[in-house]
Amino acid sequence: MKKILVTRRLLRSNEDKLKNLYDVNLNLNDELYSQDKLIELSQGCDGILSALTDKLDEETINKLPDSVKILSNFAVGFGNIDLEAAKKRNIAVTNTPEVLTDATAEIGILLILGACRRASEGIEGARESNWKWSADYLIGKQLTGARLGILGMGRIGQKIAHVARSLGMIIHYHNRSKLSGDKEQGATYHETLESLLSVSDVLSVCCPASKETVNLINKDALEKLPKGAVVTNVARGDIVDDEALINALDRRKVYAVGLDVYKGEPNLNPGYMKHKSAFILPHLGSATKETRTAMANLAIDNLTEFFDTGGCKNKVN
């Protein structure tokens, strides 16, 4: 029986499934393993079911035992893994695409609504019972008629566009390539990021993380937005330059932000805390029972497919 190291706690049904298939080393306390401990625990293992919180860089991968042949990442993203280093060690890397589209898009819409309609300030006022209605109390930005710029029109971006369109938003997008008409659904394509930014009353960052997208939304990019734009991020924290975005909030170049991801998670840049208009969530994109169950099942299925066939349709390296 193959031996699998599971680096983070999964839902019980998923852990039971694993135990029926493999000799598993579960993380019952949901401890965030150090790289040294991860290497130690992987001794004698045939595969690792990893999480985004695991830093599997070149140094760590090079110290993994030769027995490890697959890293099945419990996420659609894989920015925590050095793919080239894994490839050199002949270690397959897999992810869990498609199953978290709906849940993440829901959070993307929540970020847009929360930032535009000043939800953080409203929640604070309601809890402290210190609000008083007036005609101009917590006036926010209405979505109807606003231009939504989507950076990265993949599955999640397309689902956000679909819901936002029903709210009366006008959809623009920038992607590596133009979509077919049936996927665009009337959205306007922009060949350059600069062009997209110039028409984005609300910017929704949905693109995959890569070396090329680190700090893609930086000071220069933010200057190209209309004054008073709203910036949301449901993708990865590294895509946004926090200091530049906070500075844009300070100068009121940016009206509000909605973030489900940010650099240094869970440690939030304290500059955001100065702004009541910052609507920030703790990486809830895939946090529904249905989605987390489906993600873990797919990560397990990736292991099984790899061990049975030597390959996997969700292999990313």
Kindly give the interhelix angle for 101-116 and 289-309, rounded to the nearest 10 degrees: 140
Beta-carbon neighbour count of residue 192 at 10 Å?
9
Query: Exactly one of 15, 236, 292, 305 is catalytic; which is it?
Result: 236
Task: Please give the DSSP secondary-structure letter assigned to residue 315.
Answer: B
236 is catalytic: yes
CA distance linking residue 230 with residue 256, whole number of Å: 5
* Structure-token match 């009353």, residue found: 201
Query: Exactly one of 15, 283, 292, 305 is catalytic; which is it?
Result: 283
Bridge partners of 204, per DSSP, are 150, 232
265 is catalytic: yes
Compute the Cα dihedral for 289, 293, 294, 296 and give only its sign. Answer: positive
Query: Cβ(27)–Cβ(9) under 8 Å?
Result: yes
Task: Please give the DSSP secondary-structure letter assigned to residue 71.
Answer: E
Token couple for 84? 């080239």
What does the chain come to in residues? 317
Query: Exactly one of 265, 275, 290, 305 is catalytic; which is it?
Result: 265
174 is catalytic: no
Task: Cite the active site residues.
Answer: 236, 265, 283
